[in-house]
Amino acid sequence: MTPSSSAARAGPLHALRVWWTMLAICLEERLVYRGDFALGTLMRFLPIVTQVFLWTAVFAATSRPDIAGYSRNDIVAYYLLTMVTRAFSSMPGLAGGISRSIRDGSVKKYLVQPVDYVGFLLAARVAHKLVYYAVAILPFAAVFFLCRGYFPPPPDAATSAAFLLALVLSFLLGFFMEATLGMLGFWMLETASIVFAYMLVQYLLSGHMFPIDMLAGIPTGVAGVSLADVVRWLPFEFTAYFPAAVWLGKVRGAALVRGLVIEAAWVLLMAVACRIAWRRGTRRYSAYGG
């Protein structure tokens, strides 16, 4: 009668099994909607075309061979690579989904069942991404093949590995930042405007709009501190700029190692923040609402 007799499997191994099952089920669920993003993915490349025209015009107007170390080809390659980074670090619907589950009460399920909500969200997001990549790989491959002329020769194995590591970390960073943001829903009814502000800051400061190196000359008013320095103190660059810069060989040696360590530290910090937000949030939810 008591379920404890069936609790033979416990500990981290069991947690992994639960997580694996969640992943498998989320995968199945995502596959129901596989058609949705095949077209969407292709559409996302459209802004790139405008960027190519814009920078072609910029370089035509100047006699300089490069801007902040980026040639015209580098710039196009950079934009295409940030598309890859964003495919890892962007979390469409994550923050909104969390605050909605708080508002409509479906978050209760995770208070009643012996299951970890953050772990579940992570499994769901990994599944979301895996299905996305399975579909998106074709348009990505096509675009990269067509644009192969813009790219420098591929980097060595160590740099490629660092690039992959930076991408995985950017996925985790994006996940924990947005999940933490979504949990603000415990304190406020509507988080949409905060999420929007976050997206905006993220877009400007992540390097999604232009390589962060280009901010180096822009003063902030504080002596000796440029806008690029400010961006370097924030986590956003790791969600677009950093992995792309690694692939293009703009970050090397000690700077590369330091970058990866800082990125990992941000992941850890945001993971802890996410936990704290969940713990405090559920405590508050239990006390006031429910």
9 binds other proteins (CB under 8 A): yes
Instruction: Tell me if 7 contacts other proteins by CB under 8 A.
Output: yes
Choose the binding region for other proteins from 75-83, 253-261, 269-277, 279-287 (rule: CB under 8 A).
279-287
Question: Which residue of 13, 32, 60, 158 would you call a contact of other proteins, by CB under 8 A?
Answer: 32
Cβ 26 to other proteins shortest distance, Å: 9
- End-to-end, the C-alpha distance of the chain in Å comes to 31
Report whether 42 contacts 139 (CB < 8 A).
yes
43, 93, 106, 134: which one binds other proteins (CB under 8 A): 106
Residues paired with 132 in a beta bridge:
none
Residue 13 in the binding site for other proteins (CB under 8 A)? no
- Phi first, then psi, for residue 70 (nearest 5°) are -110, 120
Q: State how far the Cα of 99 lies from the Cα of 195, in Å rounded to an integer.
A: 10
Minimum gap (Å) between residue 73 Cβ and other proteins: 44
Q: Distances in Å between the alpha carbon of 179 and those of 42, 74, 97, 112? A: 27, 33, 9, 20
Q: Among 2-10, 127-135, 240-248, 271-279, which window interacts with other proteins (CB under 8 A)?
A: 2-10
CA distance 280 to 163: 35
Which residues lie near other proteins (CB under 8 A)? 1-4, 6-10, 14, 17-18, 21-22, 25, 28-29, 32, 105-106, 108-109, 111-115, 283, 285-290
